[in-house]
């Protein structure tokens, strides 16, 4: 087999593949490429914190972390150009050169997003073997593209947006706005010289965000079902035409149940339900073969609440890729949305693994 240049491993490719691309007339097949001016993304982080121990033995702490994202990575389809607009001003794209899905890795032009995390803590250890720790974290985070996948097509299409080529900053797919934590730790020597430890860890957090979208490729880009939903102000909204068999009654009942405002909402403007989980761990020290050795036998129950009641500890969230299609639609020659079918989206669904309890036991030998 002939290779390009000297045929150096990793660096060179088969000559026939090189010639196939070099001699192509460009009429078939999209390509993936990197912007020749691509810059490595970076983050500037600023942190401040402190702690204070009261005379009563309580230790309070506060920490703040701000991250400023620079030159974030984004995928753009360089085969597209804007060819029209919807009645409410959203861009509609079409092929600029007869090609499609030429995805380029480049940098965000403008604001790349940020994250802001404030955390508070309070803890104390008591003489009778009990330790307690409470925590709270408040997080805000915005990004341009969550870059959820390993290939260019998925990274380009798996994001809800009002403008496929210029998504802009919005709430991150990964942000957990509020989280409370509790840790109770009780240690005693029920057997002289050998500790018994009970640890209960609990957390309660607001769910991750998600969006509702149109269920078609109505904006001309490669992404199916990711165009953010336009919510009409009513049956007489000038930007919307309802098809004769569209179930307007069911649709507006759903809008009310989801508490959706009219217009196009930002990406990830809805949050999944709160989720509460408790884990219990019991550790027992035992003698080893030698006097200084220890055997640690442990028993762990994850999601203790779900063991006690199958309605506790259950997680519901808007699943990957953090958007769901609510309406199939098209765009008429006046740029209005033609609502064709109400899909009655499932909304939040149960996350199986996180919602089940499990138990395990084991032994660790320390020497």
Q: Which two tokens stand for residue 64?
A: 């703040």
Q: Is residue 148 part of a domain?
A: yes
Enter the DSSP assignment of 260: P
Tell me, yes or no, whether 231 lies in a domain. yes
> Does 352 reside within a domain?
yes
Per DSSP, the three-state class of 158 is coil
pLDDT for residue 367: 83
Does residue 38 lie within any of the structural domains? no
What domain count does the chain have?
Answer: 1
> Can you give the three-state secondary structure of 83-129, one letter per residue?
EEECCCCCEEEEECCCCCCCEEEEECCCCCEEEEEEEEEEEEECCCC
- Residue 30 placed within a domain: no
Task: Decide if 75 is inside a domain.
Answer: yes
Q: What are phi and psi of 343, to 5 degrees?
A: -90, -10
In terms of residue numbers, what domain contains 112?
52-156+170-366
Look at residue 263 and tell me if it is in a domain: yes
Q: Which residues of the chain have pLDDT under 50?
A: none
Which of 113, 105, 98, 88 lies closest to 152 in space, CA to CA? 105
Q: Are 65 and 45 in contact (CB under 8 A)?
A: yes
What global pTM score does this model have?
0.86
Q: What is the DSSP letter of 195?
A: E
Q: Is cis: bond before 321, omega within 30 of 0?
A: yes
Residue carrying the six token digits 């009261």: 54
Q: Would you give the DSSP letter of residue 138?
A: E
Nearest to 344 by CA among 230, 246, 216, 220: 246
| 37 lies in some domain | no
HEC assignment per residue over 4-63: CCCCCCCCCCEHHHHHHHHCCCCCCCCCEEECCCCCCCEEEEEEEEEEEECCCCCEEEEE
């Amino acid at each position: 087999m002939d290779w390009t240049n000297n045929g150096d491993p990793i660096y060179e490719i088969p000559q026939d593949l090189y010639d196939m691309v070099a001699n192509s007339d460009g009429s078939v097949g999209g390509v993936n490429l990197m912007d020749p001016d691509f810059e490595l993304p970076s983050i500037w982080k600023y942190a401040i914190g402190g702690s204070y121990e009261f005379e009563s033995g309580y230790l309070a702490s506060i920490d703040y972390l701000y991250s400023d994202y620079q030159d974030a990575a984004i995928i753009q389809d360089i085969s597209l150009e804007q060819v029209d607009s919807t009645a409410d001003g959203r861009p509609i794209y079409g092929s600029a050169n007869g090609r499609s899905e030429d995805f380029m890795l480049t940098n965000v032009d403008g604001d790349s997003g940020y994250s802001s995390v404030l955390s508070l803590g309070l803890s104390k250890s008591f003489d009778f073997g009990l330790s307690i720790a409470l925590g709270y974290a408040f997080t805000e985070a915005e990004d341009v593209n969550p870059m959820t996948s390993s290939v260019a097509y998925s990274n380009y299409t798996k994001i809800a947006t009002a403008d496929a080529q210029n998504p802009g900053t919005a709430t991150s797919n990964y942000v957990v706005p509020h989280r409370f934590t509790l840790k109770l730790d009780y240690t005693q020597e029920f057997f002289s010289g050998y500790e018994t430890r009970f640890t209960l860890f609990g957390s309660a957090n607001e769910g991750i965000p998600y969006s509702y979208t149109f269920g078609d490729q109505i904006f001309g880009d490669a992404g199916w079902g990711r165009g953010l939903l336009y919510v009409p102000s009513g049956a007489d909204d000038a930007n919307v035409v309802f098809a004769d068999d569209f179930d307007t009654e069911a649709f507006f009942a759903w809008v009310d149940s989801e508490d959706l405002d009219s217009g196009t909402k930002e990406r990830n403007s809805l949050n999944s339900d709160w989720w509460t989980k408790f884990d219990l761990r019991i550790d027992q020290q035992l003698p080893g073969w030698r006097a200084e050795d220890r055997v640690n036998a442990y028993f762990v129950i994850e999601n203790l609440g779900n063991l006690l009641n199958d309605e506790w500890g259950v997680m519901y969230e808007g699943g990957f890729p953090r958007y769901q299609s609510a309406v199939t639609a098209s765009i008429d020659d006046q740029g209005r949305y033609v609502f064709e079918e109400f899909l009655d989206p499932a909304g939040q669904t149960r996350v199986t693994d996180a919602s089940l309890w499990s138990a395990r036991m084991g032994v660790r030998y320390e020497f």
